[in-house]
Amino acid sequence: MKRRRISMMTVSLWRHFSNTSKTKCTIYARIKYQGERAELGSTGIKISTSDWDNESKRVLPSHPQYLSINQDLEELLSRVDIAYQELRKTKRRLRHKQFLKRTEPFLNRR
């Protein structure tokens, strides 16, 4: 699983298969900070597994909406980065709920 490192935090995107199909998947996100993992959950993006590049963690041009979906993924990663920077400034311990609150508008919106 390729990860995007934001300072001391890592953000991961991966495909999650449903129990009934191995040809369709949903893209999920998670953060890892100071050894703790927090599931951000489903991005709401559902695609064919053949449309996902597991190396780059992006939707391939074979999908008709790959540009907009990849923009949504970038926007989610940017929001996580902004949330991380804001929370770091407060010098408080970063909590899963704080990230969810700041990234929720970008999760499950498809």
Q: Angle 103-6-83 (CA atoms, 0-180°, nearest 5)?
A: 30
- Strand, coil or helix: what is 83? helix
Q: Are 83 and 92 in contact (CB under 8 A)?
A: no
In one-letter notation, the amino acid at residue 104 is E
Q: Is this structure's pTM higher than 0.85?
A: no
Q: Are 99 and 40 in contact (CB under 8 A)?
A: yes
Q: Predicted confidence band at 74 (pLDDT cuts at 50, 70, 90)? A: very high
pLDDT tens column, 21-47: 788 999 999 888 777 788 888 888 999
- Residue 9, φ and ψ in degrees, nearest 5: -115, 145
Per-residue confidence (pLDDT) for residue 107, from 0 to 100: 61
Q: Are 38 and 99 in contact (CB under 8 A)?
A: yes
